[in-house]
Structure 1
Amino acid sequence: MQQPRRTLARQIGPYTVITRLDPTGPGATPVPEHRFIARSADGDRTSVVSVPLDEATSARFLIEAQAARCHLGPWFAPVTEYADPGMPAWCAHPYEPAVPLSTALAVHGGPLPDETLRALGLCLAETLATTHASGLAYAGVSPAAVLLAGGGPRLTCFGAVRTAAEDGQTRSGLPGLEPGSLPPEQATGGRPRPPGDVYALGAVLAYAATGHTVPDHEELPSLLRSLVPACLARDPAARPRAIDVLQALAPSTSGTAPSPTVIDPGSREFPLPGRVIAALARQSAEILAADLPLPLGS
């Protein structure tokens, strides 16, 4: 995350930008929207504010932002505000200290440990299972969409694939879409469906475990060595369902069925590495202490 600094401020709707959230540099994956940490003019709200990558996608961006007001489980970051019609497109969801997945790997110094991988997979699979049970496809799962907070991951970028291009148009190579997590059927313009979300989930877990989305079989930890290749099957019908991924990762005890999840969103028991926890603490202190820049034109 860039350090907050006093300068002429960028304004996005009612918000003044404090700093950009998206990572840059080696290891960073394409981000399907620009994300900022910003504060409202009255100082009452600090939010993560997103804007589309380019004006051509603004209309589709707002459609997805409006759809993302729904509640898709505790690990989904729902949209709470968005631009009025006819104004430059933006949307916002509440801020909490969080770092992008690639930043977490960078500060940790490598792939995440098994206990973090299991918990991450459980949380994301739970969100996707809830999404699919609602008759929706998330269509925005990628490493860049995952923010890691103290209480667990937050899944952002809802509908990024649909925003990038209309169904029927080739999406391969479009800005912001991570090629390793874009399902083959969606890359060629197919309509986003639940099996595509599972493909993207496999790519996210591969990235968290190895640092890239298309690993060799031997690179994967034993926890994911069968599951990730199944999720990344080119044939959508051959992939497991999100609920199957959830059950495969859930711990079980002898003679009992697997628990659907072991993470309580309010418990702060998500097993983050120490350096990631320290990075979250630093970010929180920096945002609280930020000397809010002057608005442009003041």
Structure 2
Amino acid sequence: MRATQGAGEGAGRAAAARRRVGPYILITTLDDPRAKVPVPERRYIARSTDGLHTVLLSLPHPGGDARRFLTEAEGSRCLLGPCVAPATALAAPGEAPWYARPYLPALPLPTALAVHGGPLPERTVRVLGVALAETLAIVHGQGLAFAGVSPAAVLLAADGPRLTCFGAVRAAAPDGTPRSGLPGLDAGSLPPEQASGGRPRPLGDVYALGATLAYAATGHTTPERDELPAALRPVVGRCLARDPGARPQPAEIIRALAGDPTADSTALRTPGWIPGRVIAALAHQSATVLTAEIPTGIAPVPHPN
């Protein structure tokens, strides 16, 4: 799919998105509704009613746990790491639940594959993996599990990836509750021990990272081993081990993917690390958002309760 393909459909999605949420007017959806990859929350590009601020704005799925959604968003403010884009604004008490972070041109990983026309180059996957593993290492060092790492949770920007969908509302269910089949949850990225009700743990993040890198490299979160590029098979295969104890730590993933013990994701992001079609789509998105006209007199989204 080229950057300009589906312009009419995109305009239709933009028109459908013209609603007010808190102090923001929705400009367009971030995720392609035709994509078959589950997205843990509804995400939009929006602008403040005074026209001064553009944000990425998230809403829970209808019927989702609004309290936990906002708790996870609030908790994101404590997360550290190069890929974390924490919430900077949240719904006020009594409002329909939402949270926002500053906008930057970015594509959900599934959209990036669609724009590119298939799996991403190995170089892009390596940079993606190193950056995400760096972030997980820092989050785990805080004594936390990110929870909810999945292809849709990753946004690809020109200066590196971002992790969104904070905690995926603790991966969509309370501890002890089987999570399979819950709305917005990507079963292929769900660690086996968590699918049966175990609470999110750091080594579960490693499994989810492996599934996300497998998706970036093949278009599937659970590919056959020989579908993966040969150089990625050992580290991704270990990440996807059913036994948590057999999975590598983030530092091991960084060493395996970077190929240089002194390299980090910044050093690896040399020109050309993102495919040209993805760069073009980022530029197209930025131009569309910049020129969007925001109408007045739009009623706010009602509280789901």
Distance 2:217 2:17 in 1: 40
Residue of structure 2 in register with 1:46 after alignment: 54
Alignment TM-score, normalising by the size of structure 1 = 0.92
Residue of structure 2 in register with 1:292 after alignment: 294
Residue of structure 2 in register with 1:198 after alignment: 206
Distance 1:141 1:213 in 2: 12
Per-residue CA deviations over 1:89-148 (Å, capped at 9, x if unaligned) read 110111100111111111111111111011011101111111001111000100000111
Distance 2:115 2:282 in 1: 11
Residue of structure 1 in register with 2:132 after alignment: 124
Letter in 1 for 2:28: T
Question: CA 1:44–1:167 in structure 2 vs 1: closer, same or farther (change >3 Å)?
Answer: same
Choose the corresponding residue for 2:113, options 100, 105, 117: 105
Choose the corresponding residue for 1:245, options 226, 250, 253: 253
Distance 2:16 2:30 in 1: 17
Letter in 2 for 1:120: L
* Shift of residue 8, structure 1, vs aligned partner: 8.1
SS at match of 2:78: coil
- Larger % of helix: which? 2
Letter in 2 for 1:211: G
Residue of structure 2 in register with 1:141 after alignment: 149
Question: Where does the alignment leave 5 or more consecutive residues of structure 2 unmatched?
Answer: 1-5, 301-305
* Shift of residue 238, structure 1, vs aligned partner: 1.1
Residue of structure 1 in register with 2:196 after alignment: 188
Residue of structure 2 in register with 1:271 after alignment: 273
Segments ≥4 residues shifted beyond 4 Å: 4-8, 267-270
Distance 2:17 2:166 in 1: 30
How many residue pairs get aligned? The number is 291
Per-residue CA deviations over 1:188-239 (Å, capped at 9, x if unaligned) read 1111000000000000000000001010111100221111111011111111
Question: CA 1:262–1:169 in structure 2 vs 1: closer, same or farther (change >3 Å)?
Answer: closer
Name the Cα RMSD after superposition. 2.0
Residue of structure 1 in register with 2:216 after alignment: 208
Question: CA 1:269–1:158 in structure 2 vs 1: closer, same or farther (change >3 Å)?
Answer: farther
Alignment TM-score, normalising by the size of structure 2 = 0.90
Q: In 1, are the aligned partners of 2:46 and 2:57 still within 8 Å (CA)?
A: yes
Distance 1:236 1:217 in 2: 19
Distance 1:56 1:110 in 2: 32
Residue of structure 2 in register with 1:9 after alignment: 18
SS at match of 1:263: helix
Identity %: 58
Letter in 1 for 2:157: A
Structure 1 residue 23 corresponds to structure 2 residue 32: yes
Choose the corresponding residue for 1:259, options 257, 262, 287: 262
Question: Where does the alignment leave 5 or more consecutive residues of structure 1 unmatched?
Answer: 253-257
SS at match of 2:179: coil
Q: In 1, are the aligned partners of 2:30 and 2:45 still within 8 Å (CA)?
A: yes
Per-residue CA deviations over 1:228-282 (Å, capped at 9, x if unaligned) read 1110111111111112111211222xxxxx12514159x7747100000000000
Q: In 2, are the aligned partners of 1:168 and 1:189 still within 8 Å (CA)?
A: yes
Question: CA 1:54–1:260 in structure 2 vs 1: closer, same or farther (change >3 Å)?
Answer: farther
Letter in 2 for 1:286: T
